[in-house]
Amino acid sequence: MNQLEALKQFTTVVADSGDFKQIDAYLPQDATTNPSLILKAVQKPDYRSLLTDTVARYRGRALDEVMDRLLVRFGCEILSIIPGRVSTEVDARLSFDSNATVARAERLIELYQAQGIHIDRVLIKVAATWEGIAAAAQLERRGIHTNLTLLFSFCQAVACGQAKVQLISPFVGRIYDWYKKTAGAAWVEADNAGACDPGVKSVRQIYNYYKKFGVATEVMGASFRNVGQITALAGCDLLTISPDLLATLAATKAPLERALDATLAQSLDLTRVNYDEASFRFALNEDAMATEKLAEGIRAFCSDSAKLEQLLLAA
């Protein structure tokens, strides 16, 4: 048994890619996309026709509508390959507008339903800002399930649990990146690997808290830099993994054991907390890493969305 097969015994494996032709080989349950992954995909010859066909069919429509139709086109292609759910992201430029986020999410779902896709097979990705979490709470009440992304802090996770969102995506690799960059020459890789990796520790804290207090929101570790981060989170509800790292896992025969266990979390001495808007904003502000990475992530997704729009206009 290779490590990918072993991991699937403990954790739902999710492919993190817009390159759906790569996904099939690894038999993931679900798949996730984002503006950066779609931008990367449409610049490959194999996927260029999806962009040009979408533009040709909907030429003259509002640019944001054409963008959503392209995202849904990719999502439908992915859903033809996987048995589970696909995550499709609301425009990151709406990250601080709850009403606009809800409206855009509803349109994405309508577009999927027009293609015969059941609502339960789609997760709408929303940035885990206070406004994004509030929007997700509204969407969940309407039966639209959400994936709260760009999640870097415990307070974001707690607020998502309070909002009863379907799933969160804590970003392991970007947390790791921040701590490594901040430490500079003082960073010792061996001391910050595996279970000691700061991104891994963040996900473990969230996972244990959710399981201790019966929070139903699913935890999906994301944004991995190396296989060690993945294996250190074996047992997490889900892990979304790039095709390159899926290939590495599939090629590795080393033993893999469960690292996270919901039963063990029940015995931990933890304190339940709650956040309102003021305490959430203060807690996030107190976490320099989360504040910086959330802002940086939104800017990057906004930039890639704008680049994708330029490709649509040029097609």
Helix (H) / strand (E) element for 125: namely strand 122-127
Residue 176 has what pLDDT? 98
Take residue 146 and report the two structure tokens written for it: 């959400």
Q: What pTM, to 2 d.p., does this model score? A: 0.97
CATH number at residue 118: 3.20.20.70
Burial of 78 (0-12, 13-18, 19+ CB in 10 A): buried
* Digitized pLDDT (tens) for each residue of the chain, 315 residues in all: 999 999 999 999 999 999 999 998 899 999 999 999 999 999 999 999 999 999 999 999 999 999 999 999 999 999 999 999 999 999 999 999 999 999 999 999 999 999 999 999 999 999 999 999 999 999 999 999 999 999 999 999 999 999 999 999 999 999 999 999 999 999 999 999 999 999 999 999 999 999 999 999 999 999 999 999 999 999 999 999 999 999 999 999 999 999 999 999 999 999 999 999 999 999 999 999 999 999 999 999 999 999 999 999 999
Alpha carbon distances (Å) from 23 to 18, 70, 219: 9, 19, 21
Residue 76 has what pLDDT? 97
Number of domains in the chain: 1
Structural domain that includes position 280:
3-314
Nearest residue to 289 via CA among 187, 191, 184, 202? 202
Whats the size of the chain, residue-wise?
315
User: What's phi and psi for 33, nearest 5 deg?
Assistant: -130, 165
Which residues touch 97 (CB under 8 Å, ≥6 apart)? Answer: 131
Alpha carbon distances (Å) from 69 to 17, 103, 311: 18, 15, 14
Helix (H) / strand (E) element for 53: namely helix 45-58
CA distance 179 to 98: 31
- Catalytic residue numbers read 125
Cα separation of the two ends of the chain: 46
